[in-house]
Amino acid sequence: MTAPPERIAMIPARMGSKRIPMKNIRLLCGKPLIRYAIDVAKASSCFDEIWVNSESERLAELASACGVRFHQRPARLATDTATNQDFTTEFLKRHPCRYVVMVNPTSPLLQPETIRRFCGTLETDRFDTLLSVVEERAECFFHEKPVNFSTQRKLNSQDLQPVQKVVWALTAWRRKPFLDSAERGECCVFGGRLGRFSIPVRESCDIDTQEEWDLAKGMLLAEKSNKAWPEGGSETPVYWRSPHGSQETD
């Protein structure tokens, strides 16, 4: 009997997005948005199987063209009221594995090395759920009360305790605890032993609006320009020089 896969990638996508119509197949800097998630999952070499999870036959064709598998979700799970718990439960009931890693198709700046480090954390066997987060070093309020600072003292941002924001670029669940929790009618998404994994802020980009699309496009174009510019892009800073010859150094 063949053992089930250790780790599979699930890329959820539907065609009915309202704020950016058909965004998953809309071209971003020359390729469909969902192709970024497919390509980075393949480049990471972390997965035994890669699945696009959708109701759309058009996305089934795209998945096939990209050399990955396609899971046909029911139409009832293709609405904007269906949650990631709903479609992940249905997916996991049909696909045995140890872990499923949800790779967000609306995070086109995610890098293979980040996925490798994320999956390396899974291999420690400490977590049933692993969430991707970014660490924000900024004064934050909740219910009109300060969260990570005191109003009695001003600290520089580097001295603040970071607040962790869940970004969903990557999320992993151990299959058995997830389905057991679903069977009990509990919230599976944050279930079991819960861990958090920090990813770079630029990779946490999540495209839901046209403004976010434009920001992602700008970052992708900047990335391409940085590789082409003679001064070496972000790796080699270039500074303004005074016409009078005076220069300041650190």
Query: What's the rounded Cα separation, in Å, for the pair 176 and 55?
Result: 25
Per the structure, the count of domains in the chain is: 1
Tokens of residue 129, six digits:
């759920």
In 10 A of CB 49, how many CB atoms?
Answer: 15
Q: Is 245 within the bounds of a domain?
A: no
Mean of per-residue pLDDT scores for the chain: 92
The answer to whether position 122 is within a domain reads yes
pLDDT band at 228 (very low <50, low <70, confident <90, very high): low
- Give pLDDT, residue 88: 98
- How far is residue 166's CA from residue 249's CA, in Å, rounded to a whole number? 39
Q: What percent of the chain stands above pLDDT 90?
A: 83
Is 18 a domain residue? yes
For residue 209, pLDDT over 80 is answered with: yes
Interval 7-12 mean pLDDT: 98
Q: Which domain holds residue 94?
A: 7-134+165-221
**Tokens (6 digits) for 31:** 């390729």
Residue 148 confidence (pLDDT):
93
Q: Is residue 156 part of a domain?
A: no
Residue 54: CA atoms inside 13 Å, Cβ hemisphere, count?
A: 27
pLDDT 10s digits, 139-188: 999 999 999 999 999 999 999 999 999 999 999 999 999 999 999 999 99
pLDDT at 240: 82
Asked if pLDDT for residue 207 goes beyond 80, the answer is: yes
57 within a domain of the structure (yes/no): yes
The CATH number given to whatever domain includes residue 213 is 3.90.550.10
Given pLDDT bands bounded at 50, 70 and 90, which one contains residue 238? confident
Structure tokens at 60: 């089934």
Residue 237 resides in a domain: no
Contact between 34 and 17 under an 8 Å Cβ cutoff? The reply is no
152 belongs to a structural domain: no
- Residue at 149 is within a domain: no
Q: Rounded to an integer, what distance in angstroms lies between the CA atom of residue 210 and that of residue 160?
A: 32
pTM reported for the whole predicted model:
0.90
CB-based contact 29:122 (threshold 8 Å): no
